[in-house]
């Protein structure tokens, strides 16, 4: 919370206390049958205090309304006007409209198709062609085993709450965020400390566990927005659309929630195509499907959308990038984890400085943050309304080691438009293990090297005798032990 906002909230609380005291004084004078002139003077003082309070409220409202996190009435009205125009001119149309539509599904009309095709052409030019990336085009329908290996079957979830009477579903974090935003915007009587607490909740929202979210929802008395009925405890809901492949129904599959898995499963062939050399990048543009819990915000959160993704494969011991110097001096708004946790705002910083101070994990990640900045600003995004926000520890997807979102400020507040993550070797390792096909790269050393390695060689027979039924778990635990090779005797 800015210093002036905090001072105004405190001043407002002081004014209210003074008004209460003066109101009591007026009542006491009247009860004691004081002289009219004395009562008039006290009433005048009370009116002056009320005017001062109204003026402080106006100042506070102006500050709160300018806060990028908070939607104002003006913004909502402006957005509605834009949405009406875009729909009337067929930029987009709610899908299946004649059957009353389906939330989160939209068609593009002729001008919408033209804009989409221009943006994708520029994306291809800026990333795929300028960086010599290997483009692929994989199916949307994906067998379960692929998404089981990648972790999506078990972990691609959002926390959901249900209206306990009607069963209507809501995203738990969205309800909590809406509550905090509305309270900050509309209830000017809340204390400075309460306002700071609500802002902190918004800042760490993505970091909250199901239990923490549930506790906050109870503490604030949040109910179902449409019915005011009580809500269930939050629980995870998997966002993937399930299907089955072939007529037997025996081969489960999912509509892909991201295009990246198609790249990972083709790593071996792409690496070969690239002359068995690292680094290289592969790219894919295609449809992604997510069964969002309660889609809103128009085209910003839909159940089927076009994703353009890049996977850049790099030596984990050398995350330099040959073209890093081309972006090193780019300066833009960055919002590191620490600043978010301590309630500060995003700050202008050179990407080179962020990398050298260790705020951004490595040069390759820094290079792509810079390239995304250039892409978005060339598209026409206002530099003042663009920031790169680092994910909080719990917020990071199950595969990520460091993650930055490009966020654009619009009438809905700051909205994530691009995710840039260091996924480490999570996916390649997972698919190697599940498929039995090693998805690895080799480095030829200049000079031969001798390496000593600790090797654990479990004797399965002995393990069986010692651990009986738990033998499998013991072997699995040994298998995930880092830096240890396992040989079975
Ligand atoms: N339902 C959706 N509709 C439209 N675009 C989406 C949707 N979900 C994600 N995206 C876009 O795809 C990009 C990559 O997805 P990513 O997996 O990083 O999103 P996410 O972090 O899971 O989103 P969130 O946490 O907000 O649900 C995001 O930066 C966002 O721009």
- What would the pLDDT profile of 153-208 be if each residue is shown by its tens digit? 999 999 999 999 999 999 999 999 999 988 888 887 788 888 888 988 988 888 88
Average pLDDT over residues 370-391: 97
Structure confidence at residue 189 (pLDDT): 79
Considering the domain boundaries, does residue 111 fall inside one?
A: no
In this structure, is residue 269 part of a structural domain?
A: no
Q: Which of 15-24, 55-64, 306-315 has the lowest mean pLDDT?
A: 55-64
Ligand 1 shell residues, CB under 6 Å: 290, 292, 301-302, 305, 307, 416-419
pLDDT, residue 69, reads 45
Three-class SS string for the chain?
Answer: CCHHHHHHHHHHHHHHHHHHHHHHHHHHHHHCCCCHHHHHHHHHHHHHHHHHHHHHHHHHHHHHHHCCCCCCHHHHHHHHHHHHHHHHCCCEEECCHHHCCCCCCEEECHHHHHHHHHHHHHHHHHHHHCCCCEEECCCCEEEHHHHHHCCHHHHCEEEEEEECCCCCEEEHHHHHHHHHHHHHHHCCCCCHHHHHHHHHHHHHHHHCCHHHHHHHHHHCCCCCCCCCCCECCCEEEECCCEEECCCCCCCEEEECCCCHHHHHHCHHHHHHHCCCCCCEEEEEEEEEECCCCCCCCHHHCCCEEEEEEEEEECCCCCCCCCCHHHCCCCEEEEECHHHHHCCCCCEEEEHHHHHHCCCCCCHHHHHHHHHHHHHHHHHCCCHHHEEEEECCCCCCCCCCCEEEEEEEEECCEEEEEEEEEECCCHHHHHHHHHHCCCCCCCCCCCCCCCCCCCEECCCHHHHHHHHHHHHHHHHHHHHCCCCCEECCC
Strand partners, 182: none
Amino acid 47: pLDDT: 87
Tell which atom from ligand 1 comes closest to the C-alpha of 307: 12
What pLDDT does residue 349 have?
A: 97
Say if residue 420 is in the same domain as residue 464.
no
Assess if residue 347 is contained within a domain: yes
pLDDT above 60 (res 68): no
**One domain for residues 169 and 223:** yes
330 lies in the same domain as 366: yes
Give the CATH number for residue 7: 1.10.287
* Tens-place pLDDT, residues 241-281: 999 999 998 999 999 999 999 999 999 999 999 999 999 99
Same domain? For 463 and 420 the reply is no
**Claim to verify: residue 338 and residue 408 sit in the same structural domain:** yes
Comparing CA positions, the residue from 204, 202, 184 lying closest to residue 8 is 184
Q: Within this chain, do residues 405 and 335 fall inside the same structural domain, yes or no? A: yes
pLDDT band of 455, cuts 50, 70, 90:
confident
Nearest protein CA to atom 19 of ligand 1, as residue: 419
Expressed in angstroms and rounded, the spacing between residue 299 Cα and the centre of ligand 1 is 12
Q: What is the mean pLDDT of residues 407-433?
A: 93
Q: Which of 219, 238, 257 is the last residue of a domain?
A: 238
The residue among 64, 89, 106 that closes a domain is 64
pLDDT in the model for residue 169: 94
pLDDT tens-digit series, residues 210-224: 999 999 999 999 999
**Structural domains counted in the chain:** 4
Q: Which residue among 171, 419, 420, 423 is best mutated to probe the pocket of ligand 1, counting the most ligand atoms within 8 A of its Cβ?
A: 419
The reply to whether 327 falls in a domain is: yes
The token duo for 274 is 């690239």
For 324-345, give one letter per residue: b (16+ CB within 10 A) or e. Answer: beebbebebbbbbbebbeeeee
Task: Render pLDDT for 327-343 as a digit per residue (tens, 0 to 9).
Answer: 999 999 999 998 888 87
pLDDT band, residue 14 (cuts 50/70/90): confident
With 90 as the cut, is the pLDDT of residue 16 above it? no
Write the CATH number for 203: 3.30.40.230
Residues in Cβ contact with 348 at an 8 Å cutoff, skipping those fewer than 6 apart: 331, 332, 333, 334
Q: Measure 132 CA to ligand 1 centroid, in angstroms.
A: 26
pLDDT(422) > 60? yes
Residue 397 CA to ligand 1 centre (angstroms): 11
| Residue 86: pLDDT over 60 | yes
Q: What is the pLDDT of residues 437-447, one digit of tens each?
A: 999 999 888 88
* Full-model pTM: 0.78
Of 64-68, 143-147, 305-309, which gets the smallest average pLDDT?
64-68
Do 367 and 463 lie in one domain? The reply is no
Q: Are both 459 and 410 inside the same structural domain?
A: no
Position with higher pLDDT, 300 vs 475: 300
Summarize the confidence of residues 25-43 as an average pLDDT: 90
Tell me which of 406, 412, 416 to substitute to probe ligand 1's pocket, judged by most ligand atoms within 8 Å of the beta carbon.
Answer: 416
Ligand 1 atom showing the smallest separation from residue 206 Cα: 25
pLDDT for 2 beyond 50: yes
Q: Could you identify the atom of ligand 1 that is nearest to the CA of residue 158?
A: 27
Confidence of residue 480 (pLDDT cuts 50, 70, 90): low
| Ligand 1 atom 27 nearest Cα | 158
* Ligand 1 atom closest to residue 418's alpha carbon, by position in its atom list: 29
Q: Give mean pLDDT, residues 349-362.
A: 96
Distance from residue 255's CA to the centre of ligand 1 (Å): 15
Q: What's phi and psi for 177, nearest 5 deg?
A: -65, -45
In a domain, 110, yes or no: no
Is residue 27 predicted with pLDDT exceeding 70?
A: yes
Q: Which atom of ligand 1 is nearest to the CA of 309?
A: 14
The protein residue with its alpha carbon nearest to ligand 1, atom 29, reads 418
Whether residue 260 is contained in a domain is answered as no
Is a pLDDT exceeding 50 seen at residue 484?
A: no
Angle (CA) 457-463-465 rounded to 5° is 150
Give domain status of residue 121, yes or no.
Answer: no
Q: Do 351 and 415 reside in the same domain of the chain?
A: yes
Which residues face 386 on adjacent strands?
Answer: 408
Q: Which of 392, 391, 374 lies closest to 383 in space, CA to CA?
A: 374
Q: Are residues 460 and 416 in the same domain?
A: no
Q: In this structure, are 399 and 456 located in the same domain?
A: no
Question: Tens of pLDDT along 89-144?
Answer: 999 999 999 999 999 999 999 999 999 999 999 999 999 999 999 999 999 999 99
Question: Which structural domain range is residue 397 located in?
Answer: 317-424
Residue 170 lies in a domain: yes
Contact indicator for 287, 279 with CB cutoff of 8 Å = no
pLDDT of 391 reads 92
Closest CA to 257 of 146, 113, 93, 370: 146
345 and 407 housed in the same domain: yes
Domain boundary among 64, 84, 111: 64
């Amino acid at each position: 919370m800015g210093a002036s906002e905090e001072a105004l909230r405190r001043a407002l609380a002081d004014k209210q206390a003074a008004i209460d005291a003066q109101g009591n004084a007026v009542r006491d004078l009247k009860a004691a049958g004081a002289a009219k002139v004395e009562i008039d003077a006290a009433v005048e003082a009370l009116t002056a205090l009320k005017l001062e309070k109204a003026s402080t409220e106006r100042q506070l409202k102006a500050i709160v309304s300018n806060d990028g996190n908070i939607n104002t009435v003006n913004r909502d009205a402006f957005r509605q006007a834009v949405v009406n125009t875009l729909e009337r001119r067929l930029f987009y149309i709610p899908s299946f409209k004649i059957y009353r539509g389906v939330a989160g599904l939209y068609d593009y009309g002729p001008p919408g198709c033209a804009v989409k095709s221009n943006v994708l052409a520029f994306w291809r030019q800026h990333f795929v062609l300028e960086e010599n990336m290997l483009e692929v085009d994989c199916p949307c329908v994906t067998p379960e085993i692929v998404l089981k290996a990648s972790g999506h079957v078990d972990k691609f979830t959002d926390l959901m709450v249900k209206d306990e009477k009607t069963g209507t579903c809501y995203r738990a974090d969205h309800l909590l965020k809406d509550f905090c935003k509305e309270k900050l915007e509309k209830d000017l009587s809340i204390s400075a400390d309460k306002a700071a607490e609500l802002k902190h909740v918004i800042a760490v929202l993505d970091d909250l566990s199901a239990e923490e979210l549930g506790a906050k929802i109870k503490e604030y008395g949040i109910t179902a927005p449409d019915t005011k009925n009580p809500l269930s405890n939050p629980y995870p809901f998997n966002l993937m659309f399930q299907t089955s492949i072939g007529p037997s129904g025996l081969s489960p599959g999912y509509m892909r929630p991201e295009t990246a898995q198609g790249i990972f499963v083709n790593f071996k062939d792409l690496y070969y195509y690239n002359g068995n050399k690292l680094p290289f990048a592969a790219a894919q543009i295609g449809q992604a499907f997510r069964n969002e819990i309660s889609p809103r915000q128009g085209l910003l959160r839909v159940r089927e959308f076009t994703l353009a993704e890049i996977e850049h494969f790099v030596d984990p011991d050398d995350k330099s990038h040959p073209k890093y110097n081309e972006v090193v001096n780019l300066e833009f708004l960055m919002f590191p984890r620490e600043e978010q946790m301590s309630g500060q705002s995003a700050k202008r910083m050179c990407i080179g400085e962020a990398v050298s101070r260790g705020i951004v994990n490595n040069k390759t990640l820094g290079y792509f943050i810079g390239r995304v900045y250039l892409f978005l600003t060339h598209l026409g995004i206002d530099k003042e309304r663009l920031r790169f926000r680092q994910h909080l520890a719990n917020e990071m997807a199950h595969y990520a080691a460091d993650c930055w979102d490009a966020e654009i400020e619009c009438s809905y507040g700051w909205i994530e438009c691009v995710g840039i993550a260091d996924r480490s070797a999570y996916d390649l390792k997972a698919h190697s293990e599940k498929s039995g096909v090693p998805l690895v790269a080799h480095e030829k050393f200049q000079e031969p090297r001798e390496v000593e390695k600790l090797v654990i060689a479990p004797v399965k027979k002995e393990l069986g005798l010692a651990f009986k039924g738990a033998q499998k778990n013991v072997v699995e635990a040994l298998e995930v032990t880092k830096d240890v090779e396992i040989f079975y005797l």
